[in-house]
Amino acid sequence: MKLLQVEDLSFRYPDQEDWLFSGLNFSLSAGQIMAISGNNGSGKTSLLYLLAGIIPRHRQGEIAGNISLAGINHKNADLSQLSTIISLVMQQPEDQIFFPTVEQELAFAPENLCLSVPEIEQRIDQALRLLNIYPLRFADTDKLSFGQQKLVALAAIHTLQPAILLLDEISSGLDEVKLAAVIKLIREYAASGKAVIIADHHSRLIELAEYVINLSKT
């Protein structure tokens, strides 16, 4: 089952003459993992922002081509609606952490989905256990290390359970143990019938993908 279809996608920021990337074509099915590689500034984050809908809703730019998502109109839906299908873990974890405790941070998405308390509890437990951060459940978010913040930001999107999970430079600042936990989560997420797109430099993450789009070459 196809979750995402990208056709002839091109993008450039305002006042830029050259396209950041152009003519991208790919699709993603349930259970697949895809990677986006490329040099710094090649447009990996911009592509993820386009897929997540942040561009053009919060960032400006010229877009050509088409993005289709299963079950929702990518062009017209608002970001909150899109997030239930496709959502992004951004590069900077401090930009994504809002609440004073890890538990509250993780509860936010399922609370917005109007889930019942047992369901919220179950999603929080699952995300914390998958990432081996259960002891952090009641920790203050302002006392977390950078690596812990990254895992909490990932867990906070995991509790939303979007059909497509987008990860932007998730490996940066993670030690080997934390990276192994992230890899486990990505594998299990895809195995559960959802899909993952990773934009990263780390070879261990790129190796997880069934196919890789290299933006440096486009």
Partner 1 sequence: MSFKINLRTILVIVICLTGISVIYQQPLVQIVLLAVTIALLFILRPSAKARQKLLHRLSSIGRIILVIFIFQLLFRRTGNVIFEYSILRITDIGINYALASSLRFFLIILVAGLLMDYPFQDYLIALNAWKFPYEIAFIVAATIHFLPVFKSIFDNKMETLALRSISLKKLTLKQRLKAFRTLLIPVLANAIHNIQNRSISLELRAFRLHPTRTYLHENKLHTIDLIIIMVTLLLTLFTMLTLR
Which residues are at the interface with partner 1 (CB under 8 A)? 52, 54, 58, 78-81, 83-84, 87-88, 90, 92, 95-96, 98-101, 103-104, 107-117, 120-121, 124, 156-157, 160
Nearer to partner 1 among residue 165 and residue 215 (C-beta): 165
137-154 burial code (b ≥16 CB/10 A, e <16) = eebebeebeebbbbbbbb
Residues in the chain: 218
Smallest separation (angstroms) from partner 1 to the CB of 154: 12
Smallest separation (angstroms) from partner 1 to the CB of 185: 17
Nearer to partner 1 among residue 57 and residue 187 (C-beta): 57
Smallest separation (angstroms) from partner 1 to the CB of 120: 5
Sequence letter at residue 79: L
Ramachandran class of 65: left when φ > 0, alpha when ψ lies in -120 to 50, beta otherwise? left
d(CA 120, CA 117): 5
Nearer to partner 1 among residue 97 and residue 190 (C-beta): 97
Smallest separation (angstroms) from partner 1 to the CB of 209: 22
Nearer to partner 1 among residue 39 and residue 81 (C-beta): 81
Q: How many alpha carbons fall within 13 Å on the CB side of residue 162?
A: 29
Nearer to partner 1 among residue 2 and residue 58 (C-beta): 58
Strand locations in the chain (E): 2-12, 21-29, 33-37, 62-69, 86-89, 164-168, 195-199, 211-214
**Spacing of C-alpha 145 from chain mean position:** 21
Sign of CA pseudo-dihedral 39, 181, 55, 95: negative
Smallest separation (angstroms) from partner 1 to the CB of 110: 8
Sequence letter at residue 51: L
Prior bond of 56 cis (ω within 30°): yes
Smallest separation (angstroms) from partner 1 to the CB of 173: 17
Nearer to partner 1 among residue 42 and residue 87 (C-beta): 87
